Chains A and B, each alone.
Chain A
């Protein structure tokens, strides 16, 4: 496989469930990101990991918990979510850590619905 792969593509969960989103990049990149895309709102940066260290936590509620075990894998653990958390969650990676000229490479996203 090449690029950035996200699983699952679709997820429906109740507010009391615990689930995890998975992201894997096969590009040899050093930085990985979680973005949230809600209807009628710009993409919101949630978390950034550079060389497996979290460098950005954008005031995200604690019901979202990221994990980056190595530079190729990124997880987003979800628990006790709210209906307003329903959105498309996009994972991305970039080649160089902290370089403003490094484009993001995105996965296909996970469409999350909280019931």
Chain B
């Protein structure tokens, strides 16, 4: 069975510093996609970054980068130069190829607090 684990219920970071949010996953499928989403207090889930299982390089999108370690089955999100607006819930997610690409599972989430 596929599983996503986020072990950090909450994290604090000082404004302008970098922070790493942990995510480990479990799947027997060789083809899968890993995603990070941000959920502000307004409720909307916002797609941040994607990493494919066959991608050789770590994904980057602006201040977001994904530290993909396939052998360890980890996909940590790194946010550089944190801003107050980064305070939100962050969810790691995975879509497996053997489920037809329809079933995305989510971790429990990490609440990030950015301090001024």
Binding site for B on A (CB under 8 A): 31, 41-43, 45, 48, 50, 55-56, 88, 90, 92, 96-109, 111
In Å, the complex CA distance between A50 and B50 comes to: 21
Residues of chain A with a CB closer than 8 A to B45's CB: 90, 92, 104, 106
Binding site for A on B (CB under 8 A): 4, 31-33, 35, 37, 42-47, 50, 52, 91, 93, 95-97, 100-109
- CB distance A98 to B100 under 8 Å? yes
A42-B106, A43-B91, A101-B95 known, 17 other contacts, Cβ within 8 Å: A42-B107, A43-B106, A48-B102, A90-B43, A97-B102, A100-B31, A100-B95, A102-B101, A104-B35, A104-B47, A104-B104, A105-B47, A106-B37, A106-B45, A107-B44, A108-B42, A111-B43
Interface of B: prevailing SS: strand
> Tally of A-B residue pairs with Cβ under 8 A?
68
* Neighbour of A109 across the interface among B43, B47, B100, CB < 8 A: B43
- CB distance B35 to A55 under 8 Å? no
- CB distance A42 to B108 under 8 Å? yes
